[in-house]
Structure 1
Amino acid sequence: MTAKGTILWLHRWLGLLSGLVVLILSITGCLYAFVDEITPLIYRQRQRVVPGSHAMVPLDRLRETAEKAIGHPANQVFIPNRPDAAVRFIAYRFDADAWHYGAQYPYYYTCYIDPYTAGVMYMENTKYEFFNLVFHLHFDLLLAGAGRWIVGWSTVVFAVLLATGLVLWWPHKRSALRQRIRFVWTDRTRWKRKNYDLHNILGFYTLVPALVLALTGLVWAFPQVDHTVQRLLDGGERPSGTVTVTDNRLPGPEGPLERIVRDLWADMPGARYYLLNLPDAGTGAPVTGLAYPYGRQRYQYTLNTYEATDGRKLSGHRYIDKSPGAKYRAMNYDIHIGNIFGLPGKILAFGISLICASLPVTGAVIWWQGRKKKRTRAS
């Protein structure tokens, strides 16, 4: 067998082994690409409120209302920075030892609260919300740790397929290049040829961006990859970028959550939204507060920690203070979904994912036709 024949054999069987997973990851990637644009439209009734003529109810009182409605303590608070938006309290329990999604989250709810009346607008069973299921299907195939392992190694195989595909695509003669980069179809072109061209030509044009999607995905699949990339960018060191602060403000009449949000607002008044990660009661762990800017600068978020009991600021972590490795890590999600280039980048990522979804299908058809051809010759 020649070297190219060996590469073809490897390309074929690796494609067949990983094809279904690549198809699922690509389709779910397409579906999730515009989640930030779609959900405000389809969930408008639960996310929007009529601004009241009086001040908003303090966040700590909203928390009491939400936790009473949910029946469980809140883990997160999502606060859009606009006067006509509901505040969301998210409560879930995560079982790290579970082997599938259903057992991984015994409960997962989002309570939408009107910040002017403290009324419950909607109780969402987030465990079965469509885009949340799409996300977890993309992340781990709804199979928890085993699924994450399958996704990770299938992504590695996909990167190998891109490399071997380029070798197989490369023309022997320059005169054959035209057929490798253009669809030269006529009315007499057979569908087998069209299928081959769709696999070959689209695969070539999407090679580089598809490789970017694959490599950025590996950061979540394998913690070792994440740590290695950050260490390389940081020159072997891991500076924290965290600034410890001394908060000398005396506790005011407001509760700790209200105090935390006011501090986040002071750090980034033009944020798109604020997110609070609340610790379990009695653990002594701090509250993590994040302020996310608008648009493609989402990765330039501010992260602070606060004392859970009184809202005192413990540390600040701004984007500009991060190390090169930490800056890249913050950007990784936006690179993966194309948001780093705004809406055009998301559209590009959607198109690339759609083509990636077609590659296992067109490749399987090529393999099947090859098998039929061999059987015909044998008979």
Structure 2
Amino acid sequence: MKYRKQILTLHKILGFATGLVVFVVSITGCCWAFKDEIESLYSDYKTVEVQDVPLITVTEAQTIAQEVFPNNHIHGAIFGKPNEAIQVIFYDREPEFYQDVFLNPYSGEVIQVNDNLSGFFPFILKGHIRLWFPKEFGEQLVGASILLFIFIIISGFLLWIPKQRKNLKQRITFDWKSTTRWKRKNFDLHTVVGFYICSLALILAFTGTVMSYNWLKYVVYKSTGGDKVAAFIIPENKSGLKINDASEGLAPIDQLIPKLWKESPDVENYELHYPESDTSSIYVEVSKTAGIFYDSDFRFFDQNTLEEIETPGIYGKYEDAKFADKILRMNYDIHIGAIGGIVGKIIAFLVSLLTASLPVTGVLLWYGRNYKKDKKLQVNQ
């Protein structure tokens, strides 16, 4: 039919335009899938011996870490269990600077400094989100290519649908014999593999595109019934004056983490973000489950009174999240497969690996057909 030829033309044009990007993004996605599990094999420095002495305060951790990088901005600090080091995170957008300083929570000793912009996994992440190009160009290239890849998946499925029902078996099985030629095998690798992974590849591509484009994030949120602001918003303080609390001689911010641990001792950790100004609130991300992010609580406290403040954005307490809020909050965990635990990561790994094969088999499919035509022309001449 005529429409199938038009779809095939579109499929090939988009495939040639985005094939290399899809291949690189898929391969780097495979490498990223088990990042946490691999890094845990050589992260003994994150564990410390528990001591019967007071922990250093939030302010002391800030002061000690700032001495390591006095000219850089502290993004936040992660306070874990009594046997875990404090992780102080430094991040500057321009020029880009992203390093972690790990402190002994009892003595304040600097245990280790990690550069999050160098090494294997940072290299892989740069390839995945921007193909190692400068950020402004690379992120737009990857975002646009994966958006087009969604249309490639849809067009590929339409082309996969057999014209006759009797041919359905050929589209879902590898019926190879010893005499089967490589062109037929390559065709099956492209169509059969493409059919089995298309739905999951579509999910990975779509969730990745949501992270690339705020307008798509807004569309997804509103179309699923969201009524909040589809953004991360740190509210302002409610109190106008700075109040010094003489309780144990501690500033309000230094009382917050012990207070939270006392209220909820079973969480994974608390990531505290120091206020950017005298009027902004303290933001604390409460990690409840290791390896996933969607069920974290995002809590905001007046920096003078520690009164909890509600945010107009979707990132607040998980128990208050509505269906549309949860959809966006789950987006990253779905994208990396963490939503399904280790099984989900294995599935994401395999789907990414097989997705990487599609541009390769697609090019070989095109080459085989065109080479065949050229060969016939040479014979006729």
Q: TM-score normalised to the size of structure 2? A: 0.87
1:94-121 deviation line (CA, Å, top 9, x unaligned): 03xxxxxxx5x0x222111111221111
Counterpart residue number, 2:349:
350
Deviation at residue 344 of structure 1 after TM alignment = 1.0
Counterpart residue number, 1:99:
none
The 3 A distance-change label for structure 1 pair 7 and 66 is same
Among residues 218, 234, 239, which one is paired with 2:209 in the alignment? 218
1:259 partner letter: Q
> Are 2:237 and 2:280, in contact at CA under 8 Å, matched by a contact in 1?
no
> Are 1:264 and 1:289, in contact at CA under 8 Å, matched by a contact in 2?
no
The 3 A distance-change label for structure 1 pair 249 and 312 is farther
Deviation at residue 245 of structure 1 after TM alignment = 10
CA distance in 2, matches of 1:129, 1:257: 34
Counterpart residue number, 2:274:
278
State which drifts further: 164-173 or 129-138. 129-138
> Are 1:277 and 1:287, in contact at CA under 8 Å, matched by a contact in 2?
yes
The 3 A distance-change label for structure 1 pair 250 and 204 is same
Deviation at residue 239 of structure 1 after TM alignment = 6.9
SS of structure 1 residue aligned to 2:210: helix
Does 1:131 pair with 2:121? yes
The 3 A distance-change label for structure 1 pair 12 and 73 is closer
Structure 1 consecutive aligned stretches of length 4 or more whose deviation exceeds 4 Å: 239-251
SS of structure 1 residue aligned to 2:257: helix
The 3 A distance-change label for structure 1 pair 304 and 364 is same
> Are 1:91 and 1:109, in contact at CA under 8 Å, matched by a contact in 2?
yes
CA distance in 1, matches of 2:307, 2:41: 36
- How many residue pairs match? The answer is 365
The 3 A distance-change label for structure 1 pair 36 and 311 is farther
1:300 partner letter: D
> Are 1:140 and 1:151, in contact at CA under 8 Å, matched by a contact in 2?
yes
1:216-253 deviation line (CA, Å, top 9, x unaligned): 11211110111111112226x32799999989995633
The 3 A distance-change label for structure 1 pair 295 and 61 is closer
Deviation at residue 256 of structure 1 after TM alignment = 4.3
**Pairing 1:80-119 to 2, within 5 Å after superposition:** 80=80, 82-95=81-94, 103=95, 105=96, 107-119=97-109
Among residues 194, 198, 205, which one is paired with 1:203 in the alignment? 194
Counterpart residue number, 2:313:
none
State which drifts further: 292-301 or 366-375. 292-301
> Are 1:75 and 1:279, in contact at CA under 8 Å, matched by a contact in 2?
no
Deviation at residue 178 of structure 1 after TM alignment = 1.4
The 3 A distance-change label for structure 1 pair 368 and 263 is farther
SS of structure 1 residue aligned to 2:117: helix
**Pairing 1:1-379 to 2, within 5 Å after superposition:** 2-42=2-42, 44-71=43-70, 72-80=72-80, 82-95=81-94, 103=95, 105=96, 107-142=97-132, 143-234=134-225, 237-238=227-228, 250=245, 252=247, 253-266=249-262, 268-280=264-276, 282=277, 284-295=279-290, 298-308=293-303, 310=304, 312-316=306-310, 317-379=316-378
> Are 2:237 and 2:301, in contact at CA under 8 Å, matched by a contact in 1?
no
> Are 2:245 and 2:252, in contact at CA under 8 Å, matched by a contact in 1?
no
> Are 2:237 and 2:302, in contact at CA under 8 Å, matched by a contact in 1?
no
Deviation at residue 262 of structure 1 after TM alignment = 2.7
CA distance in 2, matches of 1:108, 1:185: 52
CA distance in 2, matches of 1:330, 1:79: 22
1:115-159 deviation line (CA, Å, top 9, x unaligned): 122111111122214323323332233432332222222112111
SS of structure 2 residue aligned to 1:180: helix
RMSD: 2.7
Deviation at residue 187 of structure 1 after TM alignment = 2.7
What percent of counterpart residues are identical?
31
**Unmatched tracts of structure 1, length 5 or more:** 96-102
Deviation at residue 354 of structure 1 after TM alignment = 0.9
SS of structure 2 residue aligned to 1:89: strand
CA distance in 1, matches of 2:223, 2:110: 48
